[in-house]
Structure 1
Amino acid sequence: MADRERIPNINARRLGLYLRRAREIIEWSYEEAAARSGCDADWLARVETGFAQPTVADVERLLERYQVRAAKVADLMVDLATRPNGPDWLAPLLPDIKALKRDGLISEAEACVVHSYGMRLIPPLAQVEEYTRLLNSHRLPPHNPEADWDIVLQRQRFRAGGRPRFLDLIIDEDALKQVPEPKVMTAQLRWLLALDESPDGRVRIVPSSAPLYEDRTCNFDVLEFPGVSDRLSLAHSVFGVELAGTDLTDLWTLIEEESALPRDESCEIIRHYLNRLTTQ
């Protein structure tokens, strides 16, 4: 059996965790909570560990019995119950991806804030079509460029529950020099400037002169979610994005405070490279 079938997906586990926290706050045992909610204690235990998927009505009933329906996180729990397997666009990919990648993509889709760091490459959520297609044209074994771009586009466009998402980018200056195709980089740099001017994003650059250390050599994300203080971290590799094995919040903060330039100086660097490309 594949690991993705043995391991409940991250949405089911997060929903179960929040329901368990709510039950523990009112200090009810499984048996007491089940009796007062009109459900089976074994089923409730499976829900809290992600091995059973409650309906929206089930979650609403539990929250009402726990008397926490007015809590901020309650709406998030109800919303998670509407997507027990993540966004619809992910379904065709599930047979071919492992649990860590599945959960990474689901977590990214659910986040309301994505802090994304790119060392040598622009992070996927900030890539324009030309950039994605050029990168994928060099992948081995060869991939379907249409399918690859469609996945990136779905990741960029999806908004869980219709909520806005803020994309907070820190990109190493080297990433602005890695692609030698002027037309591709012109489109990419213009998009970065447009993102920084929008209410949906912020772009900062780590200059080439900044000290380099090992932890800063890999792309990663730190995700925030609505109504809770929990954060999840994602690691990027040649195989895609997946849940990181450790919390990378402190690393993000270190890069942000010690290496990244302010937004205005960052945009000046981007404009510098854009001007070089457009005046060639």
Structure 2
Amino acid sequence: MGARAQPTARQVRLGSILRDLREGGTHGSQDAVARELGWSESKLSRIESGRLGINDADLRTLLDLYKVKDRGLRAYVVDLRRRGNVRGWETGIRSVVSAMYADYIGYESDASDTYNAQTTLIPGLLQTYDYAAAVFSQHAPEMSEEVKNERLAIRDRRQQAFNRPNPLVFWGIISESVFRHAIGGPDVMAAQLEHLLTLTKEYPGTINIHVLPESSESHAALFGPFVILSFPEQWEPDIVYLEGLTGTRFLEEPGEVRAYSRLFNRLMMSESLRGDDSLKLIESHLKNYRKG
């Protein structure tokens, strides 16, 4: 038998919405719903995890059972089901990156906003080619040139999200200490910081950068890097993405997502510098690299 295809990011999101509808109603467990529909519990479990597709008839049956009357929500869920079978470009890169990261790219391609808090590196969506190449060389020196070039191409393609008809809106909080790490050397860092300043001018309102100064109490020791993805439809819950040295994971439980959203809002509103002050601080670090 051939290997079973991984679910697309949209299939996983559809399953998550259906699970939330079930848990938010009065129908209770997967077993209770499955028995009422004459399904196996395994079938419903696999639909909710995205491992099993669902046809239009079964989807309408579920929505009727859950008493979903909102026409907008019903239309969106049906459209998500139909688009879920379309495998995006991220499905073709699983031999180069982890399945979790490929899923993240799938989510990112449909997101309306991304909220990035970075304590160690310039966020990937804002990295220059030379900076990203230096990061790969330092973090994975055993990586072959072929794989490195493929990963750099993936990063470049992700950055096209700012040029799509409905551009991805980037909200970034970057620890000031990131600017002191001379990744790739002074020239690479100078070009990277200049790139940040250029992006904010070329994409006003789309790319928003706030610097968390080293004087802040909420510095790198108090939290690690994380990303929150938000989607254009109100029915789609936000997703938190955590990436570490030994692995990555998603957080989708409402309580966990709210905790990270509160942290990001506090960092944005109370701890980080305002937009112009952030850009001035970046400019000061840029001047230091140019002097060197």
TM-score bracket for the superposition, by shorter chain length: 0.7 to 0.9
Shift of 1:18: 2.7
What secondary structure sits across from 2:53 in the alignment? coil
The one-letter code matched in structure 2 to 1:238 is: L
1:37 counterpart residue number: none
On the 8 A contact 1:9/1:103 being kept in 2, the answer is yes
Please give the alpha-carbon distance, in whole angstroms, between the structure 2 residues aligned to 1:249 and 1:49.
24
Secondary structure, counterpart of 1:210 in structure 2:
coil
Following superposition, the deviation at residue 103 of structure 1 comes to 3.2
Aligned to 2:105: 105
CA contact (8 A) 2:54 2:81 kept: no
Query: Residues 51 and 207 of structure 1: is their aligned pair in 2 closer, same or farther, counting only changes over 3 Å?
Result: same
Confirm or deny that 1:164 pairs with 2:163: no
TM-score, normalised relative to structure 2: 0.73
Q: Aligned letter for 1:221?
A: V
1:175 aligns with 2:187: no
> Is 1:130 matched up with 2:99?
no
SS of alignment partner, residue 192 of structure 2: helix
Deviation track 1:190-210 (CA, whole Å, cap 9, x = no partner) reads: 221233332311000011111
> Partner of 2:278 in structure 1?
266
Verify the 8 A CA contact 2:117 2:172 in the aligned structure 1. yes
Which of 111-120 and 150-159 deviates more? 150-159
CA shift in 2, pair 1:167/1:222, >3 Å = same
Q: Provide closer, same or farther for how the CA distance between residues 238 and 17 of structure 1 changes in structure 2, counting only shifts above 3 A.
A: closer
Structure 1 unaligned residues grouped into runs of 5+: 35-39
Runs (5+) with no aligned partner, structure 2:
none
- TM normalised by structure 1 equals 0.76
Could you tell me whether the CA contact under 8 Å between 1:222 and 1:249 is conserved in 2? Answer: yes
Alpha carbons of structure 1 residues 85 and 61: separation in structure 2 relative to 1, 3 Å: same
The alpha-carbon distance between structure 1 residues 79 and 254, as it changes in their structure 2 partners (threshold 3 A), is same
Tell me if the contact between 1:103 and 1:242 (Cα under 8 Å) persists in the aligned partners.
no
Q: Which amino acid aligns with 2:192?
A: Q
Counterpart residue identity of residue 237, structure 1: G
| Partners of 1:120 and 1:25 in 2: CA distance | 38
Aligned residue in 1 for 2:269:
257
Structure 1 residue 260: Cα displacement: 0.9
CA RMSD in angstroms, aligned pairs only = 3.9
After superposition, give the CA deviation of every residue in 1:155-186 in whole Å (9 maximum; x if it has no partner): 22248x95321010110111112125233222
Relative to structure 1, the CA distance from residue 234 to residue 205 in structure 2 (aligned partners, 3 Å threshold; closer, same or farther) is same
What residue is the counterpart of 1:233 in the other structure?
A: 240
Give the share of equivalent positions with the same residue, in percent. 20
Are 1:86 and 1:106, in contact at CA under 8 Å, matched by a contact in 2? no
- 1:250 Cα deviation after fit: 2.6
* Residue in structure 1 matched with residue 153 of structure 2 by the alignment: 150
